[in-house]
Amino acid sequence: LAKTTQPISMDSYEGQEVNITCSHNNIATNDYITWYQQFPSQGPRFIIQGYKTKVTNEVASLFIPADRKSSTLSLPRVSLSDTAVYYCLVGGYQKVTFGTGTKLQVIP
Amino acid sequence: SQTIHQWPATLVQPVGSPLSLECTVEGTSNPNLYWYRQAAGRGLQLLFYSVGIGQISSEVPQNLSASRPQDRQFILSSKKLLLSDSGFYLCAWSVLGTERNQPQHFGDGTRLSIL
């Protein structure tokens, strides 16, 4: 399974765009990249998933370069409620490996 | 719609006591099922996953075991709890698929404290 590397923590002011980058140098051909959000004492929540180029939904955008060895989660205009841990996952169809995640702190 | 239930939400157990945590999924059939543990301030550690009734794969050797007696029921057990078993236990499910990595959907977790 591909191992992922993310920054341990990030701070951002409210209203700013936040970009969290994840490295996954050993990603396999059939692996997708999935991002989750976790609030304290809750289970992770699926945010977005992609295979290549760009994916956008109502919550975030995911940018994946052609070599797929990294990906960037983009959160537009964050609010205090976006303070959470964000996990980048890469894996096959049965199981994935959670990394350490990035703790995002949104500052008023 | 699909829902996942875990119980209990919190549990305090003495060292050496047995454990049984239950997870059930509704609204889907033949899901992949997962048990994770999260220590305080740490990431998620995959403990077990299952692709079908009676089919359990263990990721980390330990004194925990898992069983899947029914299609949508996943149970995490221990005969004798250790202090190191404390943590936040999460159950998750995903659609059984082979063409793409299916997103996992998590329950609300069980906070287990061992005294």
Residue range A9-59, pLDDT digits in tens: 999 999 999 999 999 998 888 888 999 999 988 999 999 999 999 999 999
Nearest to residue B20, comparing CAs of B110, B87, B115? B110
Judged by average pLDDT, the poorest of A61-65, A93-97, B13-17, B106-110 is: A93-97
Burial class (CB in 10 A: 0-12, 13-18, 19+), B77: middle
Cβ pair B112, B9 in contact under 8 A: no
Distance from CA of A101 to the nearest CA of B (A): 7
User: What are the backbone angles phi and psi of residue B71, rounded to the nearest 5°?
Assistant: -55, -40
Nearest CB neighbour to B43, from listed A34, A42, A101: A101
- Residues of chain A with pLDDT > 70: what percent? 92
| Mean pLDDT score, A61-75 | 97
Q: Do B104 and A91 touch (CB under 8 A)?
A: no
> Under DSSP, is residue B107 helix (H, G, I), strand (E, B) or coil?
coil
Which of A34, A41, A95 faces B103 most closely, judged by CB atoms? Answer: A34
Q: What are phi and psi of A2, to 5 degrees?
A: -70, 135
> Cβ of A93 and B105 within 8 Å?
no
pLDDT value of residue B99:
56
Q: Parallel, antiparallel, or unpaired for β A53-56 and A45-50?
A: unpaired
For an interface test with B, the pick among A36, A85, A98, A100 (most B C-beta atoms closer than 10 Å) comes out as A98
pLDDT digits (tens, 9 = 90+) for B41-87: 778 888 998 989 999 988 886 799 999 999 999 999 999 999 999 99
Residue A87: closest C-alpha in chain B: B43
Instruction: Tell me how many degrees the CA angle B37-B96-B75 measures, rounded to the nearest 5.
Output: 40
Beta carbons of B44 and B37 less than 8 angstroms apart: yes
A94 — pLDDT class (breaks 50, 70, 90): low
Burial of B107 (0-12, 13-18, 19+ CB in 10 A): buried
β B110-114/B10-13 pair status = parallel
Task: Give A61's pLDDT tier (boundaries 50, 70, 90).
Answer: very high
Nearest CA in chain A to B101: A93
Q: How far is A2 from chain B (nearest CA, A)?
A: 13
- Chain A residues close to B57, C-beta within 8 Å: 95
Query: Best interface-test mutation with B: which of A94, A102, A103 has the largest number of B CBs within 10 A?
Result: A94
Nearest to A31 by CA among A71, A72, A86, A75: A71
Q: Which two tokens stand for residue B54?
A: 């009676």
Q: Which two tokens stand for residue B97?
A: 């698929």
